[in-house]
Amino acid sequence: MTIILAASLIPPLFLLWKVYEHDKIEKEPFGLLLTIFLFGMVSTLPAGLLESAGMLVLNRIIPQSGNTRLFNLIFYFIVVGGAEELVKFFAMKIPTWKNPEFDYVFDGVIYGVTASLGFAALENVLYVLDTGLTTAGVRAWTAIPLHCITGIFMGHYYGVARAADMWADRRASKSLQLKSLLIPMLIHGAYDFIATDESEILIFAFLVYIVILDIFALRALKRYSDQDVRLF
């Protein structure tokens, strides 16, 4: 059990630490990050319920025995991507939106990644307990970085949305919060859809997608860190 927990938890915690290193101006307090991380872990429960409900509804509209690719397209982009990114968004927002520690735009990135990797950590434990240690190795290079990447973009637009809110631009703030949710949904949905398709072309596309996504996210993370500004 100890080996399984270590194999499941080390990858998300390592990525969280690497992103945390990019917070160069003012580090976020450990207590707040622990709260967000735990919120992210707990959010796996409502995500599972939403996905189950979405599956039932979608099955009534498009039976899986029919157009499988159309079913998967809607299921992964809207049901899975929507449910998981929505709960992670609120796991990030509830403890931070009005928190006085949220005083730099880049703090949003830290919060988004912390919530996302909290979600990924518990999800990883459950997957590894169910399927074995091999799963931990595969997910360490695929699913865990995906959650980190969606957290980076979610957190960036969340941080900019908080800045707009502080400057009394409520319309821009709402628009940016929506963007904070939709962009991770698209990234997540594309990942799941390509990864689960049995087409040989899409298997190759999946590898290309992962490489491009990793490079783009790393560059974005550095840019967001370098261009950080104070909110108040």
Asked if pLDDT for residue 66 goes beyond 70, the answer is no
Q: Is 197 left (phi over 0), alpha (psi -120 to 50) or beta?
A: beta
Number of Cα atoms under 13 Å in the Cβ half of residue 112: 31
Range of the domain at 142: 2-20+28-225
Three-state secondary structure call for residue 229: coil
Q: Say if 230 falls within a structural domain.
A: no
- Interval 162-188: pLDDT, tens: 999 999 999 999 999 999 999 999 999
Q: Say if 134 falls within a structural domain.
A: yes
Instruction: List the one residue out of 85, 47, 40, 94 whose CA is nearest residue 187.
Output: 85
Q: Say if 66 falls within a structural domain.
A: yes
- Interval 20-44: pLDDT, tens: 999 999 999 999 999 999 999 999 9
Asked if pLDDT for residue 67 goes beyond 80, the answer is no
pTM: 0.95
- Interval 184-197: pLDDT, tens: 999 999 999 999 88
Domain count, the chain: 1
Largest separation between any pair of C-alpha atoms in the chain: 55
For the ranges 94-98, 132-136, 158-162, 208-212, the lowest mean pLDDT is seen at 132-136
Average pLDDT, the chain: 94
